[in-house]
Amino acid sequence: MREGSPTARRLERARRAAVDLRRMERAAAKAPGDGFADASAEARERCGAEVADADRAIWGAEGAVGPAAASILRLRYLDALTWRQVAAAVGMSPSRCRTRADAAMDLMDALGPGRVKDGDGDAT
């Protein structure tokens, strides 16, 4: 993770939330009726909100960072894929994907929260 980058911290939180959400959803589906789905509803909602918030930020920055970089960010941080999986999905090397992601996060940080629009056109 890029030290000192608010965008990197935000996306890494979203990545962890996406992994946690996926695990909770699998656990709830494996044993329906055991109460886990009800017990984990609030945690799943929080994780889903974290992922949705990051998705809006990436969507809003897509015009500035470009669709390829936005796709890389979504695949890595919202779909929680490995860099190798991201690279295979977009047809680039893993190192090139990391470079594009770093550049996109730098631009998002430089633009600041008031300059990047979310998917609804509101400043994030």
pLDDT of residue 27: 87
Dump pLDDT digits (tens) for 58-81.
988 888 899 999 999 999 999 999
DSSP calls for the chain: --TT-HHHHHHHHHHHHHHHHHHHHHHHHHSTTSSHHHHTHHHHHHHHHHHHHHHHHHHHHHHHH-HHHHHHHIIIIIS---HHHHHHHHTS-HHHHHHHHHHHHHHHHHH-TTTSB-TTS-B-
pLDDT of residue 1 exceeding 60? no
pLDDT band for position 28 (cuts 50, 70, 90): confident
pLDDT of residue 122 exceeding 60? no
